[in-house]
A = this chain, B = another copy of it.
Amino acid sequence: MSEQGGTQDPSDQLRKDENTRQSGGMWRKAITRRDVLKLAGIGGAGLLLGSLGTGGILQAGSAPVKREAQDLAGSGVVDFYGAHQAGIATPPQDFVCFAAFDLTVDAVAQVRKLFQQWTEAAAVMTSGGMIGSSNDNPNLPPSDTGEAAELVPSGLTITFGVGPSLFDARYGLSAKKPDTFADLPAFSGDELRPEWTGGDIGIQVCANDLQVAFHAIRNLARIARGKAVLRWTQEGFQRSSHSDKAGATPRNLMGFKDGTVNPNVHDPKTMDEVVWAQADDGVPWMAGGSYMVVRRVRIRVEVWDRSTLQDQEATFGRHRRSGAPLGSRDEFDQVDLNAKDENGNPLIPMNAHVRLARGDNSVHLLRRSYSYSSGLDRTTGQLDAGLLFISYQRDIAKQFIPVQKRLASDKLNEYIVHNGSAVFACFPGVREGGYIGDTLL
């Protein structure tokens, strides 16, 4: 595919020289990105790169690869090891590749082995490295599929969870299933389809480069061969962090700001209350983990686009442009559900999304959703686009379910349909030497 024709470009020589200087040297010396990063941690990136002449990989004039986890300029490393898994409290990156797997093995020892292999691969990939050491053996398949070579780590996070089906009879784990952890009940208006529902294992991969995220899912699937098969995948995006450096709240595909109200991930007390399963919650192996809900929410784009601005704003209970609650001026104004207009009618309609989602404001969860666009729906010829809703919470039964039940009368339901659904218990973080899932497996 890379060769159909082409004249000799006069700038080829220039590009060739550039290439030799910048990346050719690295390849010939077989210095992997991982090596560069390891060494950079010791000696300082500038010094290292100067001495090896591999400046190209870190981009001339750029900051060192290793950055703060909260640096979402896009290229940095988010630490894989820690008390919690990355990708939950991590500020959302630009892209998600979500994958659900079903196990095909018989014994829990094989499940354990899979998570050990995945842990090793995830630690390497999130640090910007390539998998394995046999890249140069011509008689073997390359140990890394290669499409992320030369790319910076891009804030890659890989977050692992297990579904309720893992606790069936197969692996002897049923006694360890958290009491209330189960597939979600049917909600009003659900039109769930098996191709976007369920899974023994769920993996949320996020990065600021879609190719880096795809590479991670693909290599995890490859490692799983013979142990697990992909059940469903869904990619998602939000506006590029490069397009909107002011950090405004991203807009969903309905044109409204999405995520205005979210727990403060920097407040440990809030996170312990809302997001992290606690040691005294009755499930010791989940302490420090979090329960994830994934819903594939299709937007009836064509119908929405024909509704009036007034209807749209009444649906959300917010102004489209500013994101402010109806009757207020600024996005972050408090939502006053009791406010009335001059006729004594509620400013925010009784079936507005903001009112029903909020309820008495006693229940919170951490949302980490992405827009998706998946071509045309073959049956209708309409756009299959919407929201890959992802939330993390300490207890799904006490948090997501009551909120979603309230939304049964949500005016938004005229314009959306939930066609995929899954829940996963996302393990606590792992320390070097351990593996994801070691508290359970």
Please give the distance in Å from A379's CB to the nearest CB on chain B: 11
**Complexed CA–CA distance, A238 and B7 (Å):** 23
Known contacts A5-B365, A7-B263; is-contact A74 B240 (Cβ 8 Å): yes
- What residues of B have a CB within 8 angstroms of the CB of A266 in the complex? 11
- What residues of B have a CB within 8 angstroms of the CB of A307 in the complex? 141
**Additional 15 contacts, C-beta under 8 A, given A1-B389, A28-B329:** A1-B254, A3-B317, A3-B354, A3-B357, A5-B358, A9-B261, A9-B264, A15-B332, A56-B246, A140-B308, A147-B254, A147-B255, A149-B251, A149-B321, A211-B238
**Complexed CA–CA distance, A433 and B361 (Å):** 54
Of the listed stretches A18-26, A40-48, A115-123, A338-346, chain B binds A18-26
Whether A16 sits at the interface, judged by CB under 8 Å, is yes
**Complexed CA–CA distance, A321 and B27 (Å):** 7
Whether A59 sits at the interface, judged by CB under 8 Å, is yes
Q: List 19 A-B contacts (CB under 8 A).
A: A3-B317, A4-B367, A4-B400, A5-B357, A5-B364, A6-B365, A11-B264, A19-B332, A56-B248, A74-B243, A135-B321, A136-B309, A141-B305, A141-B309, A147-B253, A148-B251, A208-B242, A209-B242, A221-B383
The answer to whether B149 touches A255 (Cβ under 8 A) is: yes
- What residues of B have a CB within 8 angstroms of the CB of A212 in the complex? 239, 243
Whether A412 sits at the interface, judged by CB under 8 Å, is yes
Whether A68 sits at the interface, judged by CB under 8 Å, is no
The answer to whether B141 touches A306 (Cβ under 8 A) is: yes
User: Residue of B at shortest CB range from A212?
Assistant: B243
- What residues of B have a CB within 8 angstroms of the CB of A11 in the complex? 264, 266
- What residues of B have a CB within 8 angstroms of the CB of A7 in the complex? 263-264, 270, 273-274, 364
User: Residue of B at shortest CB range from A359?
Assistant: B5
Known contacts A138-B308, A214-B373, A246-B56; is-contact A259 B13 (Cβ 8 Å): no
The answer to whether A12 touches B332 (Cβ under 8 A) is: yes
Please give the distance in Å from A441's CB to the nearest CB on chain B: 25
- What residues of B have a CB within 8 angstroms of the CB of A1 in the complex? 252, 254, 258, 297, 353, 369, 387, 389, 412, 416
Q: Most chain-B Cβ atoms within 10 A of its Cβ — which of A140, A375, A376?
A: A375
Q: Most chain-B Cβ atoms within 10 A of its Cβ — which of A27, A230, A262, A273?
A: A27
- What residues of B have a CB within 8 angstroms of the CB of A211 in the complex? 237-240, 243, 371
Interface membership of chain A positions 36-78, coded 1 if the CB is closer than 8 angstroms to chain B and 0 otherwise: 0000000000000000000011011010000000000011000
Interface membership of chain A positions 197-210, coded 1 if the CB is closer than 8 angstroms to chain B and 0 otherwise: 00000000000111
- What residues of B have a CB within 8 angstroms of the CB of A23 in the complex? 246, 248
Q: Among B6, B62, B365, point to the contact of A364 (Cβ < 8 A).
A: B6
Which residues 159-190 in A have Cβ within 8 Å of B in the complex? none
- What residues of B have a CB within 8 angstroms of the CB of A28 in the complex? 322, 329
**Complexed CA–CA distance, A75 and B242 (Å):** 8
**Complexed CA–CA distance, A253 and B256 (Å):** 34
- What residues of B have a CB within 8 angstroms of the CB of A97 in the complex? 373
**Complexed CA–CA distance, A297 and B378 (Å):** 20
The answer to whether A151 touches B301 (Cβ under 8 A) is: no
**Complexed CA–CA distance, A135 and B310 (Å):** 11
Top 10 A-B pairs ranked by shortest CB distance? A146-B255, A6-B261, A3-B357, A16-B332, A5-B364, A138-B310, A9-B264, A209-B240, A59-B245, A2-B258
Please give the distance in Å from A431's CB to the nearest CB on chain B: 29
**Complexed CA–CA distance, A154 and B243 (Å):** 7
Whether A110 sits at the interface, judged by CB under 8 Å, is no
Q: Among B140, B274, B308, point to the contact of A141 (Cβ < 8 A).
A: B308
- What residues of B have a CB within 8 angstroms of the CB of A375 in the complex? 232-235, 374
Whether A403 sits at the interface, judged by CB under 8 Å, is yes
Please give the distance in Å from A189's CB to the nearest CB on chain B: 13
Known contacts A141-B305, A375-B233; is-contact A251 B195 (Cβ 8 Å): no
- What residues of B have a CB within 8 angstroms of the CB of A237 in the complex? 210-211
Whether A316 sits at the interface, judged by CB under 8 Å, is yes
Whether A244 sits at the interface, judged by CB under 8 Å, is yes
User: Residue of B at shortest CB range from A324?
Assistant: B24
